[in-house]
């Protein structure tokens, strides 16, 4: 019987654990090995069935000290939605002032994550 395995590098923290998932012949997950915390095991499960990523980018600001405010998502979204979410974020232009933590888009594309500002941009 062939042992089916898939290797992962956990991206959750700088330890970058090398984690191996093994499957039986029906492709059913049998074992996860190599993680040094429970989050790593959960990450690999998610990576197998529904890979998710957080993204960080920026949004245009008019009348501010900076032409941009940096933003990120409040939680990870499905990997295949990354570019669709980028397109949504690009549609937005804000008027200064913007404050760290401001919700720029709530529940973006119905994915359950908010786009929030990660910096203050005061008005000039």
The distance of closest approach from Cβ of residue 15 to another protein in the complex, given in angstroms and rounded to an integer, is 8
| CA-CA-CA-CA torsion sign (108, 114, 115, 121) | positive
Closer Cβ to another protein, 1 or 124, answer by number: 124
The distance of closest approach from Cβ of residue 26 to another protein in the complex, given in angstroms and rounded to an integer, is 27
Closer Cβ to another protein, 114 or 120, answer by number: 120
| CA-CA-CA-CA torsion sign (12, 38, 4, 77) | negative
| Footprint on this chain of another protein (rule: CB under 8 A) | 9-14, 16, 18, 53-58, 60, 66-68, 70-72, 79, 82-83, 86, 100, 118-120
The distance of closest approach from Cβ of residue 114 to another protein in the complex, given in angstroms and rounded to an integer, is 14
Residue 89 in contact with residue 109, Cβ under 8 Å? no
Closer Cβ to another protein, 15 or 24, answer by number: 15
- Please list the residues that pair with 95 across neighbouring strands: 62
Residue 58 in contact with residue 71, Cβ under 8 Å? yes
């Amino acid at each position: 019987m062939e042992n089916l395995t898939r290797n992962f590098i956990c991206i959750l923290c700088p330890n970058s654990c090398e984690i191996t998932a093994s499957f039986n012949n029906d492709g059913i997950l049998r074992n996860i090995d190599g993680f040094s915390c429970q989050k790593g095991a959960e990450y690999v499960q998610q990576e197998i069935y529904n890979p998710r990523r957080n993204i960080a980018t920026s949004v245009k600001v008019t009348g501010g000290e900076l032409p941009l405010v940096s933003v990120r998502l409040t939680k990870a979204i499905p990997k295949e939605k990354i570019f669709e979410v980028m397109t949504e974020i690009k549609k937005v232009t804000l008027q200064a002032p913007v404050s760290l933590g401001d919700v720029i888009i709530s529940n973006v594309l119905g994915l359950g994550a908010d786009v929030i500002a990660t910096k203050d941009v005061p008005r000039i």
